[in-house]
Amino acid sequence: MADFPLAVNVQGDYGYKVVVVDSHCTIDEVIKTAVDQIVSVLVAPFPEEAVLRARVHGATRPLDGSLTVREAGFIQMEALQIYVEE
């Protein structure tokens, strides 16, 4: 059961949205969950070859995709940015 809210901004969106995930989800799963809920609804689809990454708001480095929410030590409503890696 999803029980951990995160504030997520997907590249191209105007603001943050609340996405609820399980604390054992990986960052890659968080990205997939957010993209499934937001892309094609609020932002245009990304190219198929696009590689999406996530980082904590204000950070310069992406999070390791295999890191879990629990391992990352996030607090509820942690702000994450999801973006296309260039």
Where are the domains positioned within the chain? 1-25+34-46
Average pLDDT of the segment spanning 10-36? 96
Residue-level pLDDT at 1: 65
pLDDT digits (tens, 9 = 90+) for 39-67: 888 899 999 999 999 999 999 999 999 99
Alpha helices by DSSP H, the chain: 27-38, 69-72
- Single-letter amino acid, residue 49: E
| Arithmetic mean of pLDDT, 15-26 | 96
Q: What residues form DSSP beta bridges with 21?
A: 4
